[in-house]
Amino acid sequence: MENRDESADIAPMAAYEIDPQTSVPEVRIQAENEIPKTPGTYLLFLRFSGHARISVGRLGTSDFVPGFYGYVGSARGPGGLAARLRRHAVKTGSCHWHIDYLLPQSEIAGAVFAETKTRLECDWAGWAQNFARCEVTGFGASDCTCRAHLFFFGKIPDEVPLIQQARKDLHALYASRQLLLAC
């Protein structure tokens, strides 16, 4: 059997220009300053400033403590990464995915993402689990064997090092909340 390099499905970072003015290098996509409209995987970063008790569909009610969270997802539908990340950023639409229940009570800090046809969501969840203080069992993982796709990283005063580590380890690009809203 031939070994296949799955990383070949990930768009090369050379297609992007990194903005040196931001504390976390942010992508400035050369064509119309947009997030790609192609399939991919993302890690959405959220902040809860206070305690929140949220009913999450069939998962039931969960308590969320203040701090920094990460949600791993994939974008396979029409509009790809741009459509999915914008939907999260503007917090519109009905509650279709687990993450939709959290968005009204949290603040999006940004997202790392990679264009890819390969399903990397569970691999990225494994990465997040290694850095997380805990996971929200079952959250976002109803269609796979992962324990969770939502992770609590803690009450970290500066999330920049974590985001930079995610970019490096996941071979991903970063988009701030402002860029997500603009796509």
Query: What are 143-160's pLDDT values in tens digits?
Result: 899 999 999 999 988 899
Decide if 37 contacts 81 (C-beta within 8 A).
yes
Phi first, then psi: what are they for 156, rounded to 5°? -85, 130
If one counts every other C-beta atom within 10 angstroms of the C-beta of residue 4, the result is: 9
> Which stretches within the chain are classed as H helix?
80-90, 98-102, 121-131, 160-170, 177-182
> pTM for this structure?
0.84
pLDDT band, residue 26 (cuts 50/70/90)? low
Comparing 181 with 163, the larger pLDDT belongs to 163
